[in-house]
Chains A and B, each alone.
Chain A
Amino acid sequence: MIVFDNVSKQYPDGTMGVDGLSFTADEGQITVLVGPSGCGKTTSLRMINRLLEPTGGSILVGDADVMSQNVVALRRQIGYVIQNSGLFPHRTVLGNVASLPIMLGMSRKDARARAHELLETVGLDASYAKRYPWQLSGGQQQRVGVARALATDPPYMLMDEPFSAVDPITRAQLQQEFLRIQSEVGKTIVMVTHDIDEALTLGDRIVMLRTGGHLAQNATPRELLRNPADEFVANFVGRARGYGALGFTSDVQLDIQPARSVRIGEQTANDDEWLVAVDDESRPLGWLRTDDEGIAQHADVEHATIITRADGTLRDIMDAALSSPNGRGILVHEDGTLRGVITLEEVTRAIRVSKGL
């Protein structure tokens, strides 16, 4: 657990980096600090591992005030990922990940084995291990940065815009991988970003700051979308409040209709109806209209259709209906087998219900 208790940081030139900030980052959760440029996110993060010292209030890591702990010992239980990866340019990828464990006394052999494992965890092929940082793309460097921070298996992690150096698609991939890793390792994480979508995707809790280093709102992503504390928060959350908010709604009763389906290769009744094409395991492939002979062909399936889980969010279900060639979304069970279909009208009804309209 990391606790901020009325923390302030005034820089020597008088600038208030952070002003009276209090929040708690719970054990095993991802707490995201978000806000506009210059609002004090990095300042807050760097006070946790004492790269900066607070000028007021106190920060607890575990049960003790950071200022009362040995600074090196404190830092060694906190993994640190900085924005531009900060890799050691003179070390190979493997060397970067293995160097801290080796320095702390792990045998070279064990440290390398662990480094290889971690590189795999963050999705880097073994062939990258011998490269030097300048031979990697920005996204690959950031992955190595994450692997390096995990190398000593510290209970805490601080991450300053860890996925900023990549394009939106790679970023989304990294975020999903990161969530998968976190579900395995369960670290207590404080992450900084200025991207509200990233905060909403990754955060168990969002601490939003406003310029001047003040707390604007401390809430779960869902609360933040539903009840922004004021105009500033509402504006910052922006577009994400509308359509994006549907991504947090999943507990609505839906009227799912049975679907007419056909296995690929089978004969169908030739009545020019849309059918759900399924494979041998009853997993849907997309919508299909039969050809003249009435045989269901792979080539006739509309692959552009989005298929999603019946217990998914309204956002995913609406995407399924909108991307369908006939206004009906294909829904599946947890195991990927066909559950049924849902009409666009039913989706809008569910949205109204979820909003209490």
Chain B
Amino acid sequence: MLDFFFDPENWSGGNGIPMRTLAHLAYTFIALGIAAAIAVPLGILIGVTGRGEALIAGLANALRALPTLGLLILIVMLVAPLISSSLAFTIPAIIVLVLLAVPPILTGTYSGIQNADRNAVQAARGMGYTTGQILWRVQVPMALPLIMSGLRGALLQVVSTATVAAFVSLGGLGRYIIDGRATQDYPQMLAGALLVAVLALALELLFMLLERFVVSPGLQRKTTSGAALATA
């Protein structure tokens, strides 16, 4: 396997590790972006109105239970006749990843809004905050820790599942696994798996850093040391 990593061929060109990592990241972030654009507003709506919660919980569980690969192939078969070009494969892959990413973000967002300190919301209303001001200045900031952890969960799911894109002859790190299997090149397979794991870990770390920045220290006492804050 070390041979694989030391081979300069594997570090350049369209099939090199950098390009494939980039492609992998591209699928991941496009899917995550679309999922967030759907799930965050929907989660806020459900959280604020308290309606549709049961429906969403059921739907989220159903989505989780779907077999990723089967779904991918199904969508390719449905979409392929409609679109001619490589998009016929890209779109189904993205759809599958989005479906995977929506539930954790949705759950995180609506439970974040619902669990936001009721007294604070009540006080804001009593002081004359409008509904919109309560949402953006009180509820959403208080929900951020849970929204962020929903996003993080989704990101990890997507980055590891993006390997399936390779099944429908697309790029990304999954190619090493698929190609390695096809040619019985086990070191290559293993290298592919390792690269995905490292990428996931790196993203996880990055995301934790991002959380420190966007979540108010007033809400981080459960995740960071209180002493550090108290002396700050």
Q: Which residues of A contact B (CB under 8 A)?
A: 46, 49, 51, 72-76, 78-80, 82, 84-92, 99-100, 103, 130-135, 145, 148-149, 158
A190 to chain B, nearest CB (A): 13
Tell me if B130 and A72 are in contact (CB < 8 A): yes
> For A133, what are the chain B residues with a Cβ–Cβ distance below 8 Å?
218
Closest chain-A Cβ to B143's Cβ sits at a distance in Å of: 10
Provide the residues of chain B in CB contact with A100, threshold 8 Å.
127-129
A217: shortest Cβ distance to chain B, in Å?
28
Q: Measured between alpha carbons, how far is A76 from B124 in the docked complex, in Å?
A: 11
- Are A89 and B123 neighbours in the complex by a CB distance under 8 Å? no
Nearest chain B CB to A83's CB is how many angstroms away?
8
Q: Do A132 and B217 touch (CB < 8 A)? A: yes
Chain B 84-130 interface residues, beta-carbon cutoff 8 Å to A: 117, 119-120, 122-130
B230 contacts A by Cβ under 8 Å? yes
- Taking CB atoms, residues of chain B closer than 8 Å to A103 are 129, 133, 137
Pair A87/B128 contact, Cβ less than 8 Å: no
Q: Per a CB cutoff under 8 Å, which of A49, A51, A90, A149 touches B216?
A: A90
B interface residues with partner A (beta carbon < 8 Å): 117, 119-120, 122-130, 133, 137-138, 141-142, 144, 216-219, 221, 226, 229-230, 232
A-B contact pairs, 5 of them (CB 8 A): A49-B126, A78-B126, A82-B122, A85-B119, A132-B217
Given A49-B126, A134-B218, A135-B229, also A89-B133 (CB < 8 A): no
* Of the residues B119, B123, B127, B142, contact of A90 by C-beta under 8 Å: B142
Could you say which residues of chain A place their CB within 8 Å of the CB of B217?
132
Asked if residues A76 and B122 are in contact (CB atoms below 8 Å), the reply is: no
**Whole-angstrom distance from the CB of B11 to the nearest CB of chain A?**
45
CB <8 Å contact, A91 and B126: no
Are B125 and A87 neighbours in the complex by a CB distance under 8 Å? no
The answer to whether B126 and A89 touch across the interface, beta carbons within 8 angstroms, is: no
- Check A75/B126 contact, CB under 8 A, given A103-B133, A132-B229: yes
**Known contacts A84-B119, A85-B119, A103-B137: A134-B221 contact under CB 8 Å:** yes
Q: How far is the CA of A146 from the CA of B210 in the complex (A)?
A: 34
Contacts of A131 in B (CB 8 A): 230
Asked if A90 and B141 sit within 8 Å, CB to CB, the answer is: yes
